[in-house]
């Protein structure tokens, strides 16, 4: 794997629209998590809600992290029919705002 064994991380920060209920959010998260079973290059999925006490989240409430072996895997994921169906028809219409960042984790270098 690239990046010191951690693969490539696909991070999505999201703020759901106020009109989206907590039950709807939970259903969307379940469907997002299920993509790891449908899209081979997607190796892992984790998510969580902001718990920071610094109040620097700029309104973003949820973090979604997917792991891929390499950037080619992210490219395959982005155009996969299951991802396109989920993101275009369900997930993106439920969001007020989002940020997506892909990165390769760098191992800690001891000085």
Residues 9-45 pLDDT 10s:
999 999 999 999 999 999 999 999 999 999 999 999 9
Active site residues: 77, 80
Quick one: pLDDT band at residue 1, thresholds 50, 70, 90? very low
Instruction: Report yes or no on 83 lying in a domain.
Output: yes
Query: Does residue 42 fall inside a structural domain?
Result: yes
Within a domain: 3: no
User: Where residue 25 sits, what CATH number does that domain have?
Assistant: 3.30.70.100
Residue 109: inside a domain: no
Q: Is residue 74 part of a domain?
A: yes
How far apart CA 110 and CA 80 sit, in angstroms, is 39
pTM of the model as a whole: 0.89
The predicted pLDDT at position 111 comes to 67
| Range(s) of the domain holding residue 36 | 8-103
Rounded to 5°, the CA angle 100-5-44 comes to 50
In a domain, 15, yes or no: yes
What is the domain count for the chain?
A: 1
Q: For residue range 54-104, what is the model confidence (pLDDT) as tens digits? A: 989 999 999 999 999 999 999 999 999 999 999 999 999 999 999 999 999
Would you say residue 1 lies in a domain? no
**Can you tell me the distance from the alpha carbon of 41 to that of 68, in angstroms, rounded to the nearest whole number?**
6
Longest dimension (CA), the chain: 50
In a domain, 50, yes or no: yes
């Amino acid at each position: 794997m690239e990046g010191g064994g951690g693969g490539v991380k696909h991070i999505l920060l999201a703020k759901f629209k106020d009109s989206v209920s907590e039950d709807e959010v939970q259903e969307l998260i379940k469907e997002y998590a299920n993509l790891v079973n449908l899209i081979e290059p997607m190796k892992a999925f984790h998510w969580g809600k902001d718990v920071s006490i610094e109040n620097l989240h700029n309104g973003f409430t949820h973090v979604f992290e997917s792991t891929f072996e390499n950037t080619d895997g992210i490219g395959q994921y982005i155009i996969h029919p299951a991802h396109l169906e989920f993101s275009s028809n369900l997930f993106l219409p439920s969001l007020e705002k989002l940020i997506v960042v892909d990165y390769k984790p760098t191992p800690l270098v001891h000085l």
